[in-house]
Amino acid sequence: MVTKRIYFLYEPLLNLKESMIERFITSVLCATLFSCLMFSSNIIDINHQCSSIDKPQNKERQSIKTVRAENDNVIHNEYIQHVDDTSSSQFNISLPPTKAKQVILIDVNSGVVLLEKNAHMPMSPSSMTKIATACFVASKLKSGELNFDTKFTVSRNAYRKEGSTMFLNIDQKVSVKDLLYGLIISSANDAAVVLAEGICGTEELFAIELTKFVKSLGAINTNFENGHGLPAQMHKTTAYDLAIIARQAITDYPEVFDIYSHTSFSFNGISQRNKNVFLSKGIGCDGLKTGHTNEGGYGIAVTCVSNGRRLLLVVNGYKNEQDRTTDASALLTWGLNTFIMHSLYRKNHIIAKIPVWYGEDSELPITVENDTAIILPRSSPYDAKITLNYYSPVTAPIPKGMLVGEMRIISGTMHTPLVLPLVATITIKEASFFKKIVDSFVYLIWGVRKPKMFDLEQKEIAKQS
């Protein structure tokens, strides 16, 4: 602690020019400061809802997150190597039975995992692969590399592709928009091939680029060998990874995601209905894909909205279509009825003001990056406890939006805390030399100042009937 304080005492003096007068002033100041050091006290511990940290803390992976990952074409199987017949949740509640081999249910807005079963076990995604393909194409549209009117030519390879089809003709020129509709609504394998060849030249090159793309989203246990999902030896993902990809499709590409809600599509004079039966179930479902192969079984990635809450369910490994429909419907209903959202902080709402050293301003207002809410079981009382951890001391210059700490939300019904970043709401410039001297004396004698805390906003969203 003494060494740390000495550094802060010396720091404003280090850049003085080497004139005789300045050397004399420096010597006097240092002598005075070191005399005061003999009578200084330790830094005050902050024990009321806020603490200081010298280093960032590791964050538990308690939620689905969009993260950057290394491009790696190797499937990582360090999680689960066997089938577990029991479900789990980070909440201390009773869980519904399910016949699925792999399950994950998340709250899309917060990313909180509500239920999982073998969520990190490798599986064959079947036609749910097309969610990743559509997401990849959407990223090209967003970047301007493609547009909906871009046309690709149907090759003989695409025309002959087995399985679901949108009935393309050889050498026909088809727009990206029509191909996306065929890919999503008709689950057309020929559309997937045309898109792959049009973007990358071959299916093989497209699979490599598609794998890199989803890994960059955080789906690190995924490897694709094609864009349609027909069986291939190393064509694998996990329910967790597929949820990451589907969540990206929902939140980042609304124009393409809207296609999933269409109930039918006509092309070349042939009309086909959307294979997602949940669109007509009356539970607020508006998208994503079914899948089936002998290797993967029956599966679906499905999302629904109710009273402002959006859930995303990924299930796979059912023996028949009826089990998939009945089971998935029950899991979604359970998720909507069991949990409720409590609003905590709004974006840009000042949570606290923490001390700043060597800045033109002595306090930094901090906030959360986005509107913050906590998902808790409906049957449990609201018992969330919030701790703010910030980096101490925070030293200027500080740009607006800089990460300065974290908020940890703990509840008796949660196995792991929810961890959210805290950022600066303003820019603070570096102080003058003499202001730094004053800060050094303050730090030396009184230590770290306590932050100013503000009342927590607690607004419970109306419970669903």
Please state, in angstroms and rounded to a whole number, the distance separating the CA atoms of residues 226 and 129: 8
Sequence letter at residue 227: G
395 has pLDDT over 70: yes
State residue 396's pLDDT score. 85
Confidence of residue 143 (pLDDT cuts 50, 70, 90): very high
Contact between residue 238 and residue 102 where contact means Cβ atoms under 8 Å apart: yes
> Where exactly are the structural domains of the chain?
2-60+346-460, 102-341
| 224, pLDDT greater than 50 | yes
In the three-class reduction of DSSP (H, G, I as helix; E, B as strand; rest coil), residue 369 is classed as coil
pLDDT tens digit sequence for 157-170: 999 999 999 999 99
Q: How confident is the model at residue 89 (pLDDT cuts 50, 70, 90)?
A: low
CA distance 230 to 222: 15
Q: Average per-residue pLDDT in the chain?
A: 79
- pTM listed for this prediction: 0.72
CATH H-level, domain 2-60+346-460: superfamily: D-Ala-D-Ala carboxypeptidase, C-terminal domain (2.60.410.10)
Report pLDDT digits (tens) over 399-424.
Answer: 998 988 888 887 766 667 778 888 99
The CATH code that applies to domain 102-341 is: 3.40.710.10
Provide the pLDDT for residue 454. Answer: 59
Q: Which residue has the higher pLDDT, 38 or 243?
A: 243
Matching residue, tokens 């609201």: 382
Q: How far apart are CA 160 and CA 163, in angstroms?
A: 9
Q: How far apart are CA 424 and CA 350, in angstroms?
A: 10
Question: Which residues 6+ apart lie within 8 Å of 272 measured at CB?
Answer: 166, 185, 186, 264, 265, 266
Q: What pLDDT was estimated at residue 451?
A: 61
- 161: Cβ–Cβ under 8 A, 6 or more apart, which residues? 189, 190, 192, 193, 228
Assess contact for 295 and 236: CB atoms under 8 A: no
Confidence of residue 431 (pLDDT cuts 50, 70, 90): confident
pLDDT, position 389: 82
The answer on pLDDT for 463 being more than 50 is no
